[in-house]
Amino acid sequence: MKLLRKQLGWSQNRLAEESGVSRRTINYIENGKIKNPKKETMRSISNALRADVEILFFDKS
């Protein structure tokens, strides 16, 4: 998620604005403080980044 966000040139604040998810939550997800985000949170972030939920949150490759 962080890599894709940075590739888009987005700050955490921008992702928060685009997704409707708080910047704090985005920060916690990126830094591993939230390991299992809510489905709606994952969906909102994925939609904002135009990425598949499965790849963004579950692909470990």
Q: What is the CATH number of the domain that holds 23?
A: 1.10.260.40
pLDDT value, residue 61: 65
Instruction: Identify the pLDDT of residue 59.
Output: 80
CA atoms in the 13 A half-sphere facing the CB of 46: 15
Look at 1-5, 8-12, 23-27, 54-58 and tell me which has the smallest mean pLDDT: 54-58
Q: Which residue range is the domain that position 18 belongs to?
A: 2-58
Q: Cα–Cα distances in Å, from 47 out to 16, 42, 52, 60? A: 12, 8, 8, 20
The number of folded domains in the chain is 1
Residues in the chain: 61
Q: What is the CA radius of gyration of the chain?
A: 10
- pTM flag (> 0.85): yes
The DSSP code for 35 is S
